Amino acid sequence: MAQFQPTERTQVKRLPKRGRYDEETVFQILDSGFVCHVGFCVDGQPFVIPTNYGRSGRTLYLHGSAASRMLRTLSEGVLVCVTVTHIDGLVLARSAFHHSTNYRSVVILGTARLVEDPAEKMEALHIFTEHVLKGRWDEVRWPTEQEMKGTTVLALPIEEVSAKVRTGGPIDDEPDYALPVWAGVLPLQTVPKTPEPDPARKADVPLPDYLKDYSR
């Protein structure tokens, strides 16, 4: 199993047993989501911006409008921190202090590069689309040259990275197990609802299978 080498910045220090550095865990967490939070500083002012992403091997792609301050700033070599988190359950203990959550998270540190090669840029947009909804790219109109000019794509190497995972039930202090308080886990899951067609639709197009069977 391939491993990432933890650094001083990515080594999990708080509850280190929850730290994960294997490629399988990191990629599974990244591939299960599609929203990340991008942290960076401009003139001493920190920003954290939510955005979509896609992954290819050990590269994370970010994209957006060419007018985006975030993408413009990151393309200049500003250090970046990207995080992805899944909340899998609320962990309810008998004491307020020991309440927690079951979660899976990834933190990536590094410097992004501007994707200028047209073929890589188009492939990155393909990756974004398929990452969110597999099967969609082959049905939609692909970006025009003008749309490509109006889109910025950045590539962030997945090298300095760590994951942190919590599973299981509450851990109470021994005397608290006698308290008449319900304890356990409330599992949480993202569940798709019935797709809502565009009211401006011009033709009756059947619902695609990838929407009927959508899950993450």
Of the pLDDT bands very low, low, confident and very high (cuts 50, 70, 90), residue 127 is: very high
Of the pLDDT bands very low, low, confident and very high (cuts 50, 70, 90), residue 203 is: confident
**Strand bridging mode 79-92 / 45-56:** unpaired
User: Does the pLDDT of residue 204 top 80, yes or no?
Assistant: no
Non-local (6+) Cβ contacts of 195 within 8 A are 207, 211
Contact 142, 128 (CB under 8 A): no
Can you give the pLDDT at residue 17?
A: 94
Can you give the pLDDT at residue 1?
A: 76
Can you give the pLDDT at residue 139?
A: 94
Q: In one letter, which amino acid is 190?
A: T
> Does any domain span residue 212?
no
Can you give the pLDDT at residue 22?
A: 96
Question: pLDDT tens-digit profile of 40-81?
Answer: 999 999 999 999 999 999 999 999 999 999 999 999 999 999
> Does any domain span residue 204?
no
Can you give the pLDDT at residue 200?
A: 82
Average pLDDT, stretch 152-177? 97
pLDDT > 90: what percent of the chain?
88
Q: In one letter, which amino acid is 173?
A: D
> Does any domain span residue 179?
yes
Question: pLDDT tens-digit profile of 82-121?
Answer: 999 999 999 999 999 999 999 999 999 999 999 999 999 9
Can you give the pLDDT at residue 80?
A: 97
135: domain range? 16-190
Of the pLDDT bands very low, low, confident and very high (cuts 50, 70, 90), residue 34 is: very high
> Does any domain span residue 184?
yes
> Does any domain span residue 175?
yes
> How many domains does the chain divide into?
1
Q: Which long-range contacts (CB under 8 A, 24 or more apart) does 205-211 make?
A: 208/135, 208/136, 208/139, 209/135, 210/133, 210/134, 210/135, 210/136, 211/133
Where do runs of H (alpha helix) occur along the chain? 23-32, 69-74, 118-132, 145-149, 209-212
> Does any domain span residue 211?
no
Contact 61, 153 (CB under 8 A): yes
CATH code for position 79: 2.30.110.10
Average pLDDT, stretch 166-187? 97
Q: In one letter, which amino acid is 110?
A: G
**Burial, 21: exposed, middle or buried (Cβ in 10 Å; 0-12, 13-18, 19+)?**
middle
Average pLDDT, stretch 189-197? 91
Non-local (6+) Cβ contacts of 204 within 8 A are none
Residue 61: beta bridge partners? 54, 155
